[in-house]
Amino acid sequence: MMTTLNRDAARAAVAAGHRAATDVTGFGLLGHLYKMCRASGVTAVVDAASVPYVDGARAALRDGFVPGGSRRNLDWVRPHLDAHVSEDELVLLADAQTSGGLLVAGELPGHPVVGELVAAGPHPVVVR
């Protein structure tokens, strides 16, 4: 997984008009999303149930294989979260072992950029 390049995804994002992205690496999804939100002055909602994980990630967590960096990431970002998911889910979302996936920010047609937050599914994580 860590050797897969983001060339095609980056090209597709640029072709679609997106101009803000980061590769999700050591800060985990929540850390990188928080940094993008902070820099942009926006809030984001993550539908935790829709986030894909590498096969075996949940089993590794269940068996206690969690890098210290993941817990430090979560401790750092937690004050900026309104989370309605389990602690295990938060640890996975803050996983320091991530590498390569792109977090692309852009406007969704038909959805307001500013306005009421609409919860994404029954288990949202709001990043402020």
Segment-wise mean pLDDT, segments of 10 residues, the chain, 128 residues: 68 83 86 90 86 89 94 96 92 84 75 48 64
Q: Which CATH number fits domain 7-106+118-127: 2.60.120.260, 3.40.50.970, 3.90.650.10, 3.40.980.10?
A: 3.90.650.10
Q: What H or E segment, with its residue span, contains residue 15?
A: helix 7-15
CA distances from 124 to 5, 51, 59 (A): 29, 11, 22
Which residue ranges make up each domain of the chain?
Answer: 7-106+118-127
Q: Where are the beta strands (DSSP E) in 12-79?
A: 20-23, 44-47
List Cβ neighbours of 57 (8 Å cut-off, separation of 6 or more).
92, 95
